[in-house]
Amino acid sequence: MQERPPPTTASIAVACALIAGVIGFYIGQGKSLGLFGGKPVPSIPARPVKKAQDSDDSDLSSDEEDTGLSDFPGQNEECKLVLVVRTDLGMTKGKIAAQAGHATLACYKHFLRTSPDHPILRRWERSGQMKVALQVKSEEELEVLQAQALSLGLAAHIIHDAGRTQIASGSATVLGIGPAPKSIMDQVTGGLKLL
């Protein structure tokens, strides 16, 4: 009888990442349904895209500009975009800034593709595009946070480095989430430390 070789560290890491992602997804789903206490969290509804002739907001009053803002949770809150940075990679400040820029752009492009006139995006753009940088210590944490964010209907994109400078190609560096109202965002990232 032939003996099987012991599992490699890489195969164990991949298995753990997959399990963490699945568990994170189901925890996020359960939390959004109110299974872990509190009230259920509605996902952020998409808003229909205006026709090109209606897209000029310059002649609208401020009351008309926010039409539809009552249609999403957190309507009276400021919106923010969160950038979750892996600290275990040892990236320099410049590298972190570049990766955070990629994550911000990925989230923004997500809204432009899916609903460019969404009230959350409009509110975030008009209130200074707040961004908050937080930290985690592993790729698995990024994947769990992404699964939770997606389960709440948030835009969530993990950036993988091209590997041209400091870190290995394909390394997950930063997770961008949002923009979204603060109360919804805090359900995903409220327990993380600032970068």
Q: Are strands 79-86 and 131-136 parallel, antiparallel or unpaired?
A: parallel
Candidate ranges 4-8, 9-13, 169-173; pick with highest mean pLDDT: 169-173
Residue 63 has a pLDDT of: 33
Burial 78-109 (b: 16+ CB within 10 A, else e): ebbbbbbbbeebebeeebbebbbebbbebbbe
**CATH code for the domain of 178:** 3.40.1490.10
Look at residue 52 and tell me if it is in a domain.
no
Look at residue 101 and tell me if it is in a domain.
yes
Domains contained in the chain, number: 1
Q: Element (H or E) spanning 134, and its range? A: strand 131-136
Look at residue 63 and tell me if it is in a domain.
no
Burial 111-143 (b: 16+ CB within 10 A, else e): beeebebbbbbbbbeeeeeebbbbbbebbbbbb
Q: Which domain holds residue 114?
A: 9-45+70-194
Look at residue 61 and tell me if it is in a domain.
no
Task: List the single range of 9-13, 130-134, 175-179 with lowest mean pLDDT.
Answer: 9-13
Look at residue 159 and tell me if it is in a domain.
yes
pLDDT above 70: residue 48: no
Look at residue 3 and tell me if it is in a domain.
no
Look at residue 50 and tell me if it is in a domain.
no
Q: pLDDT per residue over 74-120, tens digit each?
A: 567 899 999 999 999 999 999 999 999 999 999 999 999 998 888 99
Global pTM value:
0.65
Do 57 and 65 meet the contact criterion of CB atoms below 8 Å apart? yes
Bridge partners, residue 194, by sequence: 134
Candidate ranges 27-31, 36-40, 132-136; pick with highest mean pLDDT: 132-136
Look at residue 60 and tell me if it is in a domain.
no
Backbone phi and psi for residue 186, each to the nearest 5 degrees, phi listed first? -65, -20
Neighbours of 176 (CB within 10 A): 28
Residue 95 identity: K
* Percent of the chain's residues with pLDDT above 90: 52
